[in-house]
Chain A
Amino acid sequence: MLKFLDKIRHDKIPFVALIVLIFMYLLILFADFFAVYPANYSNRKLAYQPPSNLYVITPENKFAFPYTYNFEKSFNENTLSIEYKQIRDKKYKIKFFSNGYEYKLFGLFKTNLHLISKPDDCNLFLLGTDINGHDVYSRLFFGGRISLTIGFLALLISFPIGALYGGISGYIGGRVDKILMRIAEAIMSVPSFYLLIILASILPSNMSSIQRFALITAILAFIGWAGFSRVIRGMVLSLKNQEYVKAIETIGASRRRIILKHILPQTSSYIVIAITLSVPSYILAESGLSFLGLGIQLPDASWGNMLREAQEFANIIYRPWLLMPGFLIFIAVLSFNVLGDKIRDILDPKTLK
């Protein structure tokens, strides 16, 4: 493992990607500490407030402790729209490492310490609010919790299933192999996104958010295992004719033991490569699903469903701060891709030149 990290460290770009990912996961691990408002905070009176800018230079050109202004909401009768205007009468100093709402760190330790907390009577929204008056900045952390973990959880389900399925199919062979592979091919023959939205749409609507999260994970896993199992099957087909397998067979080991203990471990380096390279596609699938409103539902946040607001044309033109989650998805996926490529280069001896 240390050797592994050492190899990554020598290549600048994958190393940066690794750091970015560690940073992102730390942010979502301590989401409550970084957030200004609790996950479900919503103030419908303050829908679509623009981001509160932080100022460090006063109008008199002096450095100051970061401060911000409040917005005044008014209705413009000419354009029939709600407008926000900064009131520059009163400065609000931002509070760092101060007390905000109470939360439980890791679900255990009660605390109310926050990196940034809002000054009294100040509507501090660092990245503005959405239609429900949710604080976009805080929800980026809570949304990241879902978007960045759902892919891993789905992989934890789909890869063991795919490996076992492919292992059984390849090792036993014959008619079993034919039937199992036809089923896998049938699943691969449906355009995966079509299958994804259909599965998501048959979920009942009255589920708790945890149930929904679990089922979306299961659906993502269901889409992914088939293609993976075919590759494993191909590898097993060539492995099972090797002499060491013949030797174990002669000793009289059971099929289960041979597949689980002797054949599948041989495919492990491929499995590691495939896992790192497929995390991004799971993240993208979840965000796409939630973007359509079929994945994670409000009031829970995920980067995909936060982008749902960008479907409205007026929003992307007048309220560009709502596009923020898209950039985060992009950065996360990019980092996973770069890191995955590097891990493949390290583990796959064929690519070493």
Chain B
Amino acid sequence: MSIWVYIIRRFLGAIPILFMVSLISFFLIRLSPVDPLAQMKLNPAISTETIEKEKIRLGLDKPVIVQYFIWAKNFISGNMGYCTDNTKVSTKIKGRILNTLLLSFAVIFASWLIAIPLGILAAVYYNSFFDRFLTLISSIGMAIPSFFFAILMLLFAQHTGWFPVGGLTSINFSEMNFVHKVLDILWHLFLPVFVLTTISLSSLMRQMRANLLDILSAEYIKFAYAKGLTKSKIILKHALRNAINPIITLLGFEFAGLLSGAALTEYVFQYPGLGKLILEAVMQSDINLVMASLMIGAIMLISGNLIADILLKLTDPRVRI
């Protein structure tokens, strides 16, 4: 079966799951006694016409089941309605998706870049001081609550003045030229990425170490030693390729964990991502926005898993699909 057939099949398989997600979340939200238009009615900037339009669009006068299908039809055609502050949900969400993806990819990139070499070193020097030290560090990374770590980092930024305390861009961002803009964003990204990387690094490093340890005791590695190959060649050429596959499977999980874990970090750093958006939406009981960001979150998570599976297929010929 070619990889394309597989991708298409997985896409089709995602549809019933998304349908379930939307059903569950729609009814969960409708269970709450909140009037979906209450916040809109409070905002004087929103005309009564818009509210009437929303009422018809959401089908609030009809039974809940019908409301669900009206919502689903609108969502599929890209119409996600209005937020309580009278901006379109779709425009608001678009920018946030990009920011969250930017943060997630930066974190995944950084954590792989650090975790894999460290994991290899820990496995090669198994039970040495270095190995124990890394185990200790990774336990600390796994135990510290993300929001608390973020607060400590904010404190650090405030005391040293080396990093900005939150946001994604400086105040004079629009006046900068392109290079400065990129640098400015990177400068703002550093602390959130640092916090999230420290947290996701640990499990990745442990996994890498465990895999490599498993493989280093395999027969074919012993054979390679017997053949007289150098240690570095054995590890880099023979062991590593097999040890890295389970890590690729982890990529999907990591992405899922990042979407969740980033929410609190985004909140503390005032980073304009999807997690912070959904938090704000929940606090203001902005139903349209909550529903839309939930669905987008689910879509991102499912695509993350799909990408991980495809990558695994491409790197490991033993995986059958």
B-side interface residues, number (CB < 8 Å) = 50
Q: Does B186 contact A (CB under 8 A)?
A: no
Q: Are A182 and B17 in contact (CB under 8 A)?
A: yes
Let me know if B259 is at the binding interface, CB within 8 A: yes
A115 on interface, CB distance cutoff 8 Å: no
> Which residue of chain B is the closest to A338 with respect to CB atoms?
B139
Decide yes or no: A198 and B290 within 8 Å by CB, A190-B21, A191-B298 being known contacts.
Answer: yes
Question: Who on chain A is nearest to B14 by CB?
Answer: A189
The binding surface of chain A is classed by DSSP as helix
- Chain B residues with CB under 8 Å of A329's CB are 145, 148
Q: Is the CB of A194 within 8 A of B297?
A: yes
Rounded to whole angstroms, the CA-CA distance of A183 and B24 in the bound complex is 9
A191 lies within 8 A of B260 (CB): yes
Tell me the complex Cα distance, A311–B166, Å.
Answer: 12
Q: Any chain B CB within 8 A of the CB of A107?
A: no
For residue B121, CB closer than 8 A to chain A, the reply is no
Is B143 interfacial (CB-CB < 8 Å)?
yes
The binding surface of chain B is classed by DSSP as helix
What residue in chain B is nearest A183 (Cβ atoms)?
B20
The reply to whether B24 and A191 form a contact with Cβ atoms under 8 Å apart is no
B298 contacts which chain A residues (CB < 8 A)?
189-191
Q: Note all chain A residues with C-beta closer than 8 A to B290.
A: 198
**Which of B53-61, B64-72, B236-244, B279-287 interfaces with chain A?**
B279-287
Distance of B132 from chain A, by nearest CB (Å): 9
Q: How far is the CA of A280 from the CA of B141 in the complex (A)?
A: 13
Q: Knowing A193-B264, A197-B279, A323-B151, say if A202 contacts B17 (CB, 8 Å).
A: no
Q: List 23 A-B contacts (CB under 8 A).
A: A185-B17, A186-B20, A186-B24, A191-B259, A193-B259, A194-B297, A197-B278, A197-B282, A198-B29, A202-B34, A204-B33, A307-B151, A310-B151, A313-B154, A313-B165, A316-B154, A317-B158, A323-B152, A326-B145, A330-B144, A331-B143, A334-B143, A337-B142
Known contacts A204-B33, A333-B143, then 8 further A-B pairs from the complex at CB < 8 Å, ordered by chain A residue: A191-B301, A193-B259, A194-B294, A201-B32, A287-B145, A288-B147, A292-B279, A330-B143
Chain A residues at the B interface, C-beta cutoff of 8 Å:
182-183, 185-187, 189-195, 197-199, 201-202, 204, 280, 284, 287-288, 291-292, 294, 307, 310-311, 313, 316-317, 323, 326, 329-331, 333-334, 337-338
